[in-house]
Chains A and B, each alone.
Chain A
Amino acid sequence: MSEDTFFRKWLEGKADDEEILQEGKSIFPNPEEFDQYKRIIDAAGSFELPAENNKEEAWNKLESRLESKEDTNPVNATPKVVSIKRYSVQKVAAVAALFIVTLSLVYLLNKNEEIVHITGNSEQKTIILPDNSSVILNAGSSISFSPSNWNENRIVSLKGEAFFDVKKGTKFEVISEVGKVDVLGTSFNVKARDNQYEVACFTGRVEVFYKESQASKVLTKGLATKIDNRRLSEPFGFVESKVSGWQSGLFYFEATPLMKVFEEIERQFDVALVVEASLENRLYSGHFTTEELNKALEIICLPMNLQFKIEEGNKIIIKEFNE
């Protein structure tokens, strides 16, 4: 049993103390090492979140916020035509006051509101930001940003993959789980999925930060960087059409783990893949287009000695190729 698997068994509480002790002896021949881990695991297991706002209070707070949202922004509002007849000055003043209060309420509620865009499978979306910068979002991705104060504070969070075309202005930041990109006026592609982080600069100048190593790399037109061995690689040249191809349904891969390629297939065709072969560290170099699912699966499976079978709906089984 590997260390990883042993820890899993231990931490999921699926074995009793005696069993863990026995197996621990063979995985960690040095008893001190085992004891150190045990101390950490037990101590952390006794932690709890600090005392808090209880769920009921939180729900009440949420419910009243939702209700006031509905009041100021009724879902099925039909525009009313108000004809001003002979109203007394007092009544008009009262209506005006109410109108102003409502507007302020709407303003306050929306002041720090985040806008979120999400794409599901087989979906791509173009989003125009308040300064006319644009974002093309690939499938299975999401971005969020806050429109208030946009021109001073241009910050977008990204999970997944997107192509950015940024208008010149104040610093524009794209923040993801493992890294961050700073630009002034430029166009670039960011792929941030799991631990993968790749940025390719198409025009202008881009500074890429990798949170884990606290390092940064500067990219200019035609250069890209990605995470290689827990740090940002030296900028390397890339082929534009291959990196931005996804916008036209073309997906290129160079020495990419097979699982990642299959994940992209799932996103682009909105299917579920069941892989019954051991992919290990097999790497794929090639491409597929979103024209036709069968073709895409063939072009990947054949050279990798795999076969596929499409079952009801959109479930696909991948197996080793044998007679």
Chain B
Amino acid sequence: MNLNDFKSLFDQYYEGIKSFLYYKTGDIAVAEDIVQEVFIKLWDKREQIEMKTVKSFLFTIANNLAINHLKHQNIVFNFSKNESRPGKVESPHFQLELKEFQESLERLLAEMPENYRIVFLMNRIEKLTYSEIAERLDLSVKAIEKRMSKALAYLRERLKHPI
């Protein structure tokens, strides 16, 4: 693999790996550091990697490196929050309610079990299909279906009585 091939892999997977690491650690700076390490590992092993396994190799390494980093830190997310329905003009009251709802949602996501959280965010933020998520995480589509439903149930249970 030469540098050009390596760069196209970087272009293809950089965002996905970084997002995955953010969902896992809640720290964008840490995510950016680890994604560098992941690609350095790929470069080191470039002669031994087959193209068809590159995707799962990258996510596996990212997962391993992030696990070492976690060690019981409290996660705090800070998503950039846009309007739910862009283009539609809403009243200030609605906008305030929406903002508060989004913030509660963000807090709950940080507390949600990692298994559900990662799958949920990969779909909601990166708009990945269940098949695509299953491939990256090396799980079955059925497993993704279950985790997604559990994530939604978890959030609904805690959001249905807004304070």
Interfacial residues, chain A to chain B (CB-CB below 8 A): 3-5, 7-8, 11-13, 33, 36-37, 39-53, 55, 58-59, 61-63, 65-66, 69, 114, 116, 118, 120, 142-144, 146, 155, 157, 159, 175-178, 194-195, 211-212, 259
Contact = CB atoms under 8 A, between A and B. Distances in A.
Contacts of A195: 115, 143
B124 A44 contact: yes
Interface residues of B, number: 66
Contacts of B14: 55, 58-59
A116 B43 CA distance: 13
Interface of B is mostly: helix
A58 B41 contact: no
Contact of A59 (B10, B28, B148): B10
Interface of B: 3, 7, 10-11, 14-15, 18-19, 22, 28, 32, 35-37, 39-41, 43, 45, 53, 57, 60-61, 63-65, 67-68, 78-85, 98, 101-102, 105-106, 109, 113-115, 120-121, 123-125, 127, 129-130, 138-140, 143, 145-146, 148-149, 152, 155-156, 159-160
A62 B32 CA distance: 11
B36 A40 contact: no
Contact of A55 (B15, B63, B98): B15
Contact of B36 (A12, A65, A175): A65
Contacts of A146: 68
A51 B109 CA distance: 19
Contacts of A51: 80
A155 B68 contact: yes
B32 A4 contact: no
A19 to B, nearest CB: 18
A114 B65 contact: yes
Contacts of A46: 81-84, 102
A51 B28 CA distance: 9
23 contacts: A7-B145, A7-B152, A8-B145, A11-B124, A11-B148, A39-B159, A40-B155, A45-B84, A45-B124, A46-B84, A47-B121, A49-B19, A49-B80, A51-B80, A52-B18, A62-B39, A62-B40, A114-B68, A159-B63, A175-B68, A194-B139, A194-B140, A212-B115
B79 A66 contact: no
A118 B105 contact: no
Contacts of A157: 64-65, 67-68
B81 A47 contact: yes
A62 B33 CA distance: 10
A174 B78 CA distance: 31
B65 A58 contact: no
Contacts of A58: 14, 32, 35-36
Contact of A116 (B41, B78, B152, B155): B41
Contacts of A33: 156
B40 A177 contact: no
A114 B22 contact: no
Given A48-B81, A49-B18, 18 more contacts: A4-B145, A33-B156, A36-B156, A40-B105, A42-B84, A44-B124, A46-B81, A47-B81, A47-B125, A49-B125, A52-B18, A58-B14, A114-B41, A159-B60, A176-B67, A194-B139, A211-B114, A212-B113
B71 to A, nearest CB: 9
